[in-house]
Amino acid sequence: MFTNPPGILAHLAAIKTANFVTPKYIISKDKENQVQLLNRFCPHRMFPLAEPGQHIENIRCSFHGLEWDKTGIPINNNKNLSCGSVNVGRSGLVMKNLVEPNHKWVEDLASETNLEYSKQMTGKSDGSWLWMMDIQADLFHIQQGKNCVHPDLSYTTDTDKLIMEEGDGWVLQTCSTGWWLFVYPFTFVEWSAGCVAINYTVPNDINNEFGYSWVTQFYYDLTTASEKRDWFETLEDVFHEDVNASSKQKVNYFPLITANNRLEDHCVHFGKWFTANKN
């Protein structure tokens, strides 16, 4: 559906001590200390070499015993694991097919010099990942009352005071506690001082919008209080509420052409990107 879509795989803090495993890649540093990508699946018979969220050193396939060193160089075989490079921005984000803009969200992340990887949460849905992406751009559905998608969020987020900004393939939504960045079409970053979360969606089939999984990685400054960490991780509860909403939208995704309210402006922005970039 999309060719070489941009994405964010992790924060550099995830590979401070060892390689870090994502759903598709193992993120590693080569002998020149450059960040590189290794295939998470053994090139012999495509058996997974490690589970997402793990930190690993030397790499071994438990299916047939093939081994590699931590940079992906074969030890007892001739099959290469290297599958491309990434760029690490001033923000500390490990990015693929993405160039950082000159924007305050980059500066905010660049100021987080003491982040440590904390943990990862995952989930699956049979809903439409395109509707899910649209929901992430939609601020109009944050409303008070019974039978709402977010029964609590509307009481903590004043939509009248939200700052909405747009860039080339991304939107930023800023409130009093931090911001929410959506990098089209799969990646979200949430920031509050001392707290960073990276969330990305993985379609089961890039050419079929129904069926997807997701990963949310949490990073914290070591001085961040546990109470703030607990509060920050409620974003996963909010994300689950959006997942439930997307699972009820059974028709194929179609972009919003005109906003009914300024809080839908980012839906229109995403819809234009979708139309321009869809194969």
Integer Cα distance of 135 and 46 in angstroms: 34
- Taking 70 as the threshold, does the pLDDT of residue 96 lie above it? yes
Please identify, among 27, 60, 88, the residue that sits at the C-terminal boundary of a domain. 88
Domain match, 115 and 75 both:
no
Domain match, 56 and 141 both:
no
Domain at 65, CATH number: 2.102.10.10
Within 8 A by CB and 6+ apart from 142, the residues are: 150, 153, 154, 157, 159, 263
Q: Considering the domain boundaries, does residue 93 fall inside one?
A: no
Q: Considering the domain boundaries, does residue 1 fall inside one?
A: no
Please identify, among 65, 88, 111, the residue that sits at the C-terminal boundary of a domain. 88
- Provide the percentage of residues in the chain whose pLDDT is more than 70: 97
Q: What integer pLDDT is reported at residue 169 of this predicted model?
A: 94
Query: What domain range is 68 assigned to?
Result: 7-88
Q: Considering the domain boundaries, does residue 141 fall inside one?
A: yes
Q: Considering the domain boundaries, does residue 161 fall inside one?
A: yes
Domain match, 120 and 237 both:
yes
Domain match, 210 and 263 both:
yes
Q: Which of 30-34, 218-222, 229-233 comes out lowest in average pLDDT?
A: 30-34
Q: Which of 106-120, 142-156, 201-215 comes out lowest in average pLDDT?
A: 142-156
How many C-beta atoms lie closer than 10 Å to residue 157's C-beta? 18
Domain match, 15 and 149 both:
no
Average pLDDT, rounded, for the chain: 93
Domain at 196, CATH number: 3.90.380.10
Q: What integer pLDDT is reported at residue 155 of this predicted model?
A: 59
Q: Considering the domain boundaries, does residue 96 fall inside one?
A: no
Domain match, 53 and 21 both:
yes
CA 96 to the chain's CA centroid = 12
Within 8 A by CB and 6+ apart from 266, the residues are: 137, 138, 139, 164, 166, 171, 173, 182
Domain match, 237 and 186 both:
yes
Domain match, 34 and 158 both:
no
pTM of the model: 0.93
What tokens appear for 127 in the block? 């809903």
- Taking 70 as the threshold, does the pLDDT of residue 127 lie above it? yes
Cis check for the bond before 185: say yes or no (omega within 30 of 0).
yes
Domain match, 113 and 237 both:
yes
Number of domains in the chain: 2
Burial string for 108-140 (b: 16+ CB within 10 Å, else e) reads bbeebeebebbebbeeebebbbbbbbbbbbbbb
Segment 42-51 shows an average pLDDT of 96
Q: Considering the domain boundaries, does residue 2 fall inside one?
A: no
Segment 196-220 shows an average pLDDT of 95
Q: Considering the domain boundaries, does residue 97 fall inside one?
A: no
Domain match, 145 and 262 both:
yes
